[in-house]
Amino acid sequence: MTTETVLDVRDLCVSFGEIEPVRGVSFALRRGERLGLVGESGSGKSLTALAIMRLARRATLRGEVLLEGRDLLKLKPREMERIRGGRVAMVYQDPMSALNPVFTIGRQLEEAIRLHGIADRSAARERAIELLDDVGVPHPARRVEQYPHEFSGGMRQRVMIAMAMCADPAVLICDEPTTALDVTTQARIMDLLDRLVDERGTAVMLITHDLGVAAGFCDTVQVMYGGRIVERTEAEPLYGTPLHPYTEALLGAAVDLTLDLDQPIPTIGGQPPLAGRLPQGCSFHPRCRYARDVCTAQAPLLEEVAGRLVECHLADERAAAAKEDTHVGA
Amino acid sequence: MSAPDATPAAAPEAGAPLVVAEHLMKTFRLGHGEQLQALDDVSLTIRRGETFGLVGESGSGKSTVSRALLGLLPLDSGSVRFDGQEVTRLGRGEMRRLRRRMQMVFQDPFAALNRRQSVAQIVAAPLEAHGVGDRATRAARVAELLDLVGLGPAYRDRRPREMSGGQCQRVAIARALALDPDFVVLDESVSALDVSIQAQILNLLRDLQRRLGLTYLFISHDLAVIRYMAQTVCVMQHGRIVEQGSRDELFGDPRQEYTRGLMAAIPSADPATERHRRRSAALAEGVGA
């Protein structure tokens, strides 16, 4: 795998007046990388994506979003329009609201294709059919003539992915792409994204609240809470030995087929904080079972601990304890 | 905790059939001469005190079944008995009395709650509609219900938009319990909630069931959640029951291809297991195609 960085987000802040739902987010994405951004509603994950796309309405953006070396936050709106859907594209949760119900799928795909390079109408039609075929829509030559309502949820999401891929973007952001879909359809969409990364080297940022979906797809996972990334590392160590107490709690609360039926599900008490009403100190401390005095007084910083990034006062201690555990276990 | 005029002769026996549906048939006309077989010979028995899990993909007929059981859907044929009474043949007044014993909690708590009303008004609404108690006893009952679902008295005067999804779902549950029902239909009631909140609500529902002896019909597309909640599980596809059995039978030894497919598609929150699962699922699909 090459190590070429295609997207470099540096200290991104998104604010609406006094309220700052995204507070200094930094991460990089390499060509062909599968990056997960997980967190609960209100953690700032979708807003981070919208800010990268410059689609966060009425928001003030600070920091840098370097896409292949160009700072998107410095571009004029017209320049950004060419990049959006060109070098960076996005797929949303609800494909129905992203498609226009009164135009055929073919027409909408052609419009996207012509915006990003191919001017000739019949060439654009040909390309549209090719794209639909590539994302696994059966009978593409017939399907281009149909309207969005004639497509199932899974097929619509395939169309959205085809549209996002039409200019062969360097970065594809997928915001809960399978949340509205059935599990079997979800599995097929994730397979499709996998194939696109393998074949084209597209870097994918997958935003999801579903830890299972992230586990199967991502090389690296970052966890967001209260507008900050609180832990980032490769998928296996993150799921295996979560160092941030929030990551640990989130994994504990996930319902899967191994859950003990006789016990209550381990939960995190309370609610995620609202932007603008963040507690003093560490934003997770009111819900954290390990919280100490320092956690209420002082906000921790995202620091490297045991080869990963963690934003927790207790990270060193927890890393040492985890290491001891594995030694004892071995 | 019991509603004022509920006078059970004897404590109903746990495990006895509470809802029995036999050979339910329902066809919807779609226009252009097309028809949809929404229910195709659906029979099931929900026992007192249990959680009956109904699982299937969207459009499989899960919600249609629940509407039929609650007497909200005119059937083409078939019978639904609730505690021995034939639901499909009840008059308006009898149905109204029966409705008190069956309640529903839906997926989207924001859509299900009146935005203009306070929490206290929302929870008291069923008591008022059925003329239960006076102002003072209703207020006391509301306080009791809010406490039961883990919302403090401070929530009385809040409105839905001032609360999170999880808090709104607690209000919806309190409202469903107001008339002290026997049977509660939970239709994708935790599907829209975040992981940590979903866990809180599932724990609450199990706790309430134990304390109040409730019978649940738990509808979900999520087999892992169904496994945690339900003792009996029924899998639906295209309006038909594909497979039905105890949790252990169904999860231990799924007999139908369709059930196995659904189970194989559940993601696991462990990268190694999950990668392996997806690889073998993709292989199996390749072989099958």
| Inter-chain CB proximity A271 and B262 less than 8 Å | no
What is the 8-class DSSP label of residue B161? G
Say if CB A272 and CB A40 are below 8 A apart. yes
Whether ipTM > 0.85 holds is: no
The strand pair at A303-305 and A70-71 is best described as unpaired
| Inter-chain CB proximity A215 and B281 less than 8 Å | no
Query: How many whole angstroms separate alpha carbon B137 and alpha carbon B106?
Result: 27
Q: Which CATH number, 3.40.50.2300, 3.40.190.10, 3.40.50.300, 3.40.50.1100, labels domain A5-224?
A: 3.40.50.300
B282 in contact with A, Cβ within 8 Å: yes
Which residue of chain B is at minimal alpha-carbon distance from A246? B196
CA distance B128 to chain A (A): 32
| Inter-chain CB proximity B265 and A190 less than 8 Å | no
- CA angle at A220 for the pair A65 and A136, rounded to the nearest 5°: 90
| Inter-chain CB proximity B194 and A186 less than 8 Å | no
- Whether B134 has a pLDDT exceeding 50, the answer reads yes
Question: How far lies B170's CA from each of A80, A183, B197, B201, in Å?
Answer: 44, 27, 11, 8
Nearest to A215 among B57, B202, B271 (CB): B271
Using a CB–CB cut-off of 8 Å, the residues of A that contact B are: 40-41, 153, 182-187, 190-191, 194, 209-213, 215-216, 218, 235-236, 239, 249-251, 253-259, 261, 264-268, 271-272
| Inter-chain CB proximity A253 and B196 less than 8 Å | yes
Nearest to B57 among A184, A251, A253 (CB): A184
**What is the third-level CATH fold of B15-101+183-198+208-253?**
Rossmann fold (3.40.50)
User: Domain ranges in chain A?
Assistant: 5-224, 244-329
CB pairs under 8 A between A and B: 122
Tens of pLDDT, residue by residue, chain A (330 residues): 457 999 999 999 999 999 999 999 999 999 999 999 999 888 999 999 999 999 998 999 999 999 999 999 999 999 999 999 999 999 988 777 788 999 999 999 999 898 887 778 899 999 999 999 989 899 999 999 999 999 988 899 999 999 999 989 999 999 999 887 888 888 889 999 999 999 999 999 999 988 889 999 999 999 999 999 999 999 999 999 999 999 999 999 988 888 999 999 998 888 888 888 899 999 999 999 999 999 999 999 999 999 999 999 999 999 999 888 777 654
Q: What pLDDT, on a 0 to 100 scale, did the predictor assign at position A95?
A: 74
Q: What pLDDT, on a 0 to 100 scale, did the predictor assign at position B287?
A: 44
Average pLDDT for B202-216:
96
Count of positions (residues) in chain B: 289
Say if CB A7 and CB A52 are below 8 A apart. yes
CA distance B200 to chain A (A): 6
Chain B environment of A41 (Cβ under 8 Å): 165, 194
B222 in contact with A, Cβ within 8 Å: yes
User: For all residues of chain B together, what is the average pLDDT?
Assistant: 89
**At a CB cut-off of 8 Å and minimum separation 6, what does B178 contact?**
B123, B124, B125, B126, B127, B141, B142, B145
Q: Which two tokens stand for residue A266?
A: 């381990």
Q: What pLDDT, on a 0 to 100 scale, did the predictor assign at position A47?
A: 94
B277 in contact with A, Cβ within 8 Å: yes
Q: Which phi and psi (to 5°) does residue B278 adopt? A: -70, -35
Question: How far lies B155's CA from each of A267, B110, B113, B168, B201, in Å?
Answer: 22, 16, 14, 10, 17
What is the pTM for the complete model shown?
A: 0.86
Nearest to A216 among B167, B222, B275 (CB): B275
| Inter-chain CB proximity B269 and A251 less than 8 Å | yes
Query: How many whole angstroms separate alpha carbon B76 and alpha carbon A262?
Result: 41
CA distance A15 to chain B (A): 21
User: Domain ranges in chain B?
Assistant: 15-101+183-198+208-253, 117-180, 256-289
Q: What pLDDT, on a 0 to 100 scale, did the predictor assign at position B194?
A: 86
